[in-house]
Structure 1
Amino acid sequence: MAHWSNDPGAPNFGPPPQLPASSSTLYDSHSSLGNFLPRESPPNASTSYTASTYNNPTLDWSSMAPPSDQEMGQLGIPSQYPAQFPSFSAPSAAGFTTKLNAPLDNVSMDSISRLNMRITTASSAMSPSGTAPLALDASMGVHAGVARGTTVPLLTLSTAEVSDEEAEEEEEEEEEEYARSTLKQRHPNKPVAVIRQCRKLTESQKTAAKLTTQINKEKNQRVMADVVSVATGRIREANTLAEKHSVPVHRINKLIGNPGIVKQPRRPNAANGLVAQKFDEYNADRPAGSKLKLKDVRERMKLDPECDLKTMSEDKKEELRGMVAQRREIKSVAVRPTNRSAARTAQIKLKNIGRELLEVDEQCGAYNITLFTRGHLDDSVKPCVLASPEAHDFFTDVLKLNVWDVLRLFEQWACTRKKGAPVRDSLGSNRKEIVEAMQAGIGFHTNSNRGKIPMSFKNFEHDIMEKYKLKVVGWPDGLEMKNPSDIGSIDDLRRINRAWKSGQARFMELTSAEKKELAAKIKAREEAGEVATRKRAERSDKGGTHARRTTAAKSAAKRTQVKARRAKQRAESSSSRSDEGEQV
């Protein structure tokens, strides 16, 4: 512990303060800053501690700059006090002592200087000899004041009332802080992903981590040097092969390119569900940083008789599969709890997407372009463009726009569209957007110049599949594919609309095998004499003559109908007048 002395193991705070003999304050030179305060309650416990009350030097907190959390922690002040720091008050000295119990052995001079703590020496302060007042009307640092030998009879806190303007400024700052929302706050109904909590490293662990980082950095540099040499050799080999076979170099590059491995996610199984369940069970009471690893969990499961899948019932296995499927679904849609984690997740995923899009361009010759931007003004996701070089030329040659200007407009629209923008989330708007998306999909695959091709839901197999050889994939699970006008749930319409907008639901051409199967089905139906489409409702005037009439005949029939209607109206009005006359 640091003492008020010249102990080489402690900060040099100068000689210990000298108290007058008449002082009733208990003081311990080997204590903390909080024990400079009086042990008894002041005369006016509800008022603030000032120099005029005790006639002592005052630690003026009102002139301080807001300290950091680390500095507040070093001084023993809880982290929730910095917001009310300038107007800090307490009913008694004991309250100050408990809240400002600052052990000086952990306080560095840099922390004290950064806190801008100043001692305003009152005019009645005692001189170093204690015989006469020392008139010093100046502000000096804590260390400087003590090092000069200034007597510090008592350190008190100045908690003068804050003005209305300062209070309003604090309220505005709090409102601004509250307005800085996160993705989690803007989506309260969505599940929230869990951020991994890591334990704090010791000094030895930090040193070992730095050493490991340096070793890995040097290793990566050596690996990259070898990779560059191998890549250079591949370029030479590609040029040699191109000259040998008289083919373009880009064709050789496509042929020898290493394709990326694309895997589908495995179906949920009971083994994965059991591991996930036991992982949560074994680590339930363990603090962050000391949780069991997957390898340790599997070793424990070998000794647990409940983890034997051979003796497990089918109902239990099905329950575990459902748990895995549910966890996967929640993980896929869970929002990140903070803006920083959201930005980091976006950075990692976009890096993987960019690599795969580049492979699609190089290996398949498919041009692509993707624009990414943040969806809210407070988000930290950086806008970016992932595109083939030819896609940039498309923007400049055809659209007469720069792709980066389009990205800026995209970001501006995304950050401001919710302010005063019309809400298009009704039953009618969702139905309209679904129908338009489906008609656009049919038109894209058929290259139709005859206008919009109507979508048929009742006779989809005959009117769409048999005629245009198209099928719908990605329709939301649990929902029947029928006319949106027949769907009355806004939630179901939102799911369908979102699926079509995101590309999950789309039209696809039938494969060769599906076309053969469809042709065989049509042939069997025709041989059986079955009707392919549903019969339409019969007309009410079925069986009558429907000769085509000329324009003159139509006009004559219309005049006859008008005359008959007017005669009927006159008859009704005359009958009503006669009834009124009889009543009179």
Structure 2
Amino acid sequence: RTPWRYQSKRKGLTRTSTQKKLLAEKRRERREQYIDVIDRVQANLNEEAVKLHVQFSGRSIQWYKTDILQQSHKAGKKHKVNRWNAFLHAEVKRINDSCPEGTNRFRACDLMPELSAKWQAMSAEEREEATKDLIGELEDLREMKARAPQNVGLSTFYDIHATMASIEREVNALHERIGVEVLFFAVRPEYDHFNKPHVFHTSERIPEFFSLSLKVPVGEVAQRLEAYCCSGVTGKALNSSQQVLQQLQKRAGEVILQKLREAANFTVPKMFYSNFDDHITAKYAVIIEGWPLAKFVPPGQIRSHIELEQLVRAWETNIARFHKLNREEFAAW
């Protein structure tokens, strides 16, 4: 056998230009199919979130989308309830119930040595007698906790907190090894999130730089960043009148469509301004009350910032609203 250093390199499979074009075409088709599927999934997700918003209200559409996507980090398999679990749960509850009001409650780990010794001293018959009615109660309690609704805001808070802690550990280790300086901000995208602006830096040199060079504390920069992110303004919209106008038009259209779906109690695919009676009232028995502008036109045709702001404010404050006709009103219409 010839030593590897003297062996010639293996020649790879050489494809013709036609074969390369076919492979490129297959990859392009596969990518387009994937994008189409993703678009359909996102559309379905948004539609389901709108349905939840219309049915239950009280929350934004984005909140319901987050709730749908919220995944549990707990293991799928759970240990079966045994007599020791039932005994431990009942004893901890009994001891805590006997404590005076206002005192700290015990956890299972605090009482484990005492209760374990008590359990070991019991005979098999005594254990069975003491826990015969407790296993079912503990199973019901577990089932109730498993089916309890999630607190999306709280879950998001803990997710961000755990992720930030993990990142900080890695960055601190990198700083210790190499000495590289790292600064990052973490701010919430909406005001209904619980997380405060988070600033991380590997040494005091970074806040000193902000104070000496920029004349502003690094914490204030984080607060300004949070205010900007929560404002909903993106890109150069602050300096561009046209972009501000487009944002107002989009916002007005979204608010009106959302209000229409809530009034109709149905996911209306599109708001019609021309021939509104035929496309909306005749189908969904919904009319408009309190339209604030002189002309009934789509927001995209309104070129005045003042009129668009007036339109959005009217719909958000229910000065302008949709009214669902009952049978008598619809018959009279």
Same-fold call, TM cutoff 0.5: no
- State which structure, 1 or 2, has the greater radius of gyration over its C-alpha atoms: 1
Question: TM tier, shorter chain?
Answer: 0.3 to 0.5
By relative contact order (CA 8 Å, sep 6+), the higher-ranking structure is: 2
More helix by share: 2
User: What's the TM-score, normalizing by structure 2?
Assistant: 0.32
User: What's the TM-score, normalizing by structure 1?
Assistant: 0.20
